[in-house]
Amino acid sequence: MNTLRLYEVGFLAAPNIDGGGTAGGSGGGGGSGSGVGTTWTSRTSQSRSLNGVAYGNGLFVAVGGHAGYGPSVSPILTSPDGVTWTARALGTRGWLYGVTYANNTFVAVGEDGIILTSPDGVSWTTRTSGTRGWLGGVTYGNGLFVAVGADGTILTSP
């Protein structure tokens, strides 16, 4: 039996009004060649593996797995500036693979169908997804959060 895995979804905005390229989203494309995004600086974190990052409400949120809190504990890291990061140990089992921000809400997804939501990136609530499958990406557009994952799973929420 073949298994279809959807790894990530993203949003690509319409071209900028000023004609300077396009606004990019996850998996989306670049700007006008101004040099933005061409030089990168290494930063340290408390996690051995990070899989997704989002920005909203003045905060970066990164998600992953195995942060040194024990096997299979999903870390969420937050940063106001992208330089200094704080680990948020949730006690959630399994890896987190994707995160997005929209409608004043962060949404993170991962193993075993886990979906977490947060208004501030610090306090998180587990939501019922209706699946035990792996969720690999999440985005927001056209009034819906959309999460995708293993075996062609697509979940939506307003």
Domains and CATH numbers, the chain: 49-157 (2.120.10.80)
Give the strand order in the sheet containing 115-118: 96-102, 105-110, 115-118, 125-127
The predicted structure's pLDDT at residue 29: 44
Quote the pLDDT of residue 45. 76
Task: Tell me what pLDDT residue 32 has.
Answer: 53
The pLDDT of residue 55 is 97
pLDDT value at residue 11: 43
Q: What is the pLDDT of residue 1?
A: 46
Task: Tell me, letter by letter, the H, E, C secondary structure of 40-107.
Answer: CCCCCCCCCEEEEEEEECCEEEEEEECCCCCCCEEEEEEECCCCCCEEEEEEEECCEEEEEEECCEEE
pLDDT averaged over 10-residue windows placed end to end, the chain, 158 residues = 45 39 40 74 81 96 73 76 86 85 97 94 93 95 97 96
pTM for this model (two decimals): 0.75
pLDDT of residue 113: 94
